[in-house]
Structure 1
Amino acid sequence: MPELVFFSGTMDCGKSTLALQIEHNRSARGLAGMIFTRDDRAGEGKLSSRLGLVTDAVEVGDGQDLYAHVVDHLSQGGRVDYVIADEAQFLAPDQIDQLARVVDDLDVDVYAFGITTDFRSKLFPGSQRLVELADRVEVLQVEALCWCGARATHTARTV
């Protein structure tokens, strides 16, 4: 049964690396995926990891309908066996609803990756909606380190 899975963690805990690994594992077995991202460190239309891995992705804009994008691709004869959404904290709540609809209406797994809270410990709107809708929330266990050397628990903003 398809599901919406939210992989969450602090910065530098391996979320994008895991997204790239999921893409590699599925595509190596002949499955076709669609990758969405927003504001990736490597630039527009890229999904990248701090380890140096990078792949092409669909850059999500304000107001873009992700469900319609997948349906349009399918209507043109394309295949979508799974969807990956990186930097999901930057997606609007209605875009998260659209990803949930991909799971429910199209029977396609969706794997979303993102930070749960901002530097003030306030939920990002996209992450909040994912926590509300996800079939599973997985907190990544790779421990990112704080600048003090302890295990990172929050995202900081420095000036």
Structure 2
Amino acid sequence: MPELVFFSGTMDCGKSTLALQITHNRSARGLQGVIFTRQDRAGEGKLSSRLGLVTDAVEVGDAMDLYAYLVGELSRGGRADYVIVDEAQFLAPEQIDQLARIVDDLDMDVFAFGITTDFRTKLFPGSQRLIELADRIEQLQVEALCWCGARATHNARTVGGRMVVEGAQVVVGDVNRPAQEVGYEVLCRRHHRRRMTSASAHAAALSPDVLPVGRA
């Protein structure tokens, strides 16, 4: 039976690499897929991984009906055996409903990849709807690590190396950005709660402790 599968993880967990691997493996078996993405780091209409692999994709707009798009492609003689959706957290809840309809009405597997929560630890609407509708949820096994070495479970937004907890839910950025730009970093829960990024931890380590020097 076809399934709607949600592959979830943190920003550094290799989700886009797995999406590309699934595409490659199925192409090797003679299958053709449609790849949807939204706001990829490589630009509009691209699916890219941190390993430098890039492929073309269909950019999903705010009002796009994914089910209608796929039906239109099939009606024009196109072929689609499965669907890949990267950055699925950025989709609207109704677009997730359309993915479920593709599975149920068109008998296609849909593999959706995304992060679950935003920089405030709040669920993205698209991810929430996937959790509600998916036949299966897979936690990606590529382990992302906090700067302290613990397992990273939360995404932090940084500006000037400092963690911020206010602002729009979606601001396109990436890891390894210059410190003065908007960037993202994965942290363990403890350091996310303490708002301690690698930059602030490094600064604290360089600061000498202030100790009393007077004699008793």
TM-score bracket for this pair, using the shorter chain length: over 0.9
Q: CA deviation at 1:118?
A: 0.5
Q: CA RMSD in A?
A: 0.6
Whole-angstrom CA distance in 2 between matches of 1:147 and 1:50: 18
Greater Rg over alpha carbons, structure: 2
In structure 2, give the amino acid aligned to 1:125. P
Instruction: Give secondary structure in 2 for the equivalent of 1:131.
Output: helix
Instruction: Give secondary structure in 1 for the equivalent of 2:156.
Output: coil
Q: CA deviation at 1:20?
A: 0.2
Q: CA deviation at 1:138?
A: 0.2
Partner residue, 2:9: 9
For the pair 1:24 / 2:24, whether they are aligned, the reply is: yes
Partner residue, 2:102: 102
TM-score between the two structures when normalised by the length of structure 1: 0.98
Percent sequence identity is 86
Partner residue, 1:117: 117
Instruction: Give secondary structure in 2 for the equivalent of 1:22.
Output: helix
User: Runs of 4 or more off by more than 6 Å in structure 1?
Assistant: none
Whole-angstrom CA distance in 1 between matches of 2:53 and 2:29: 19
TM-score between the two structures when normalised by the length of structure 2: 0.73
How many residue pairs are counted as aligned between the two chains? 159
Q: Which has the higher contact order (CA 8 A, sep 6+)?
A: 1
Q: State how 1:80-99 maps to structure 2 within 5 Å.
A: 80-99=80-99
Whole-angstrom CA distance in 2 between matches of 1:146 and 1:156: 11
Q: CA deviation at 1:150?
A: 1.9
CA deviations 1:113-137 (Å, max 9, x no partner) are 0000001111000000000000000
Partner residue, 1:141: 141
Instruction: Give secondary structure in 2 for the equivalent of 1:137.
Output: strand
Whole-angstrom CA distance in 1 between matches of 2:69 and 2:148: 43
Deviates more, 1:129-138 or 1:142-151: 142-151
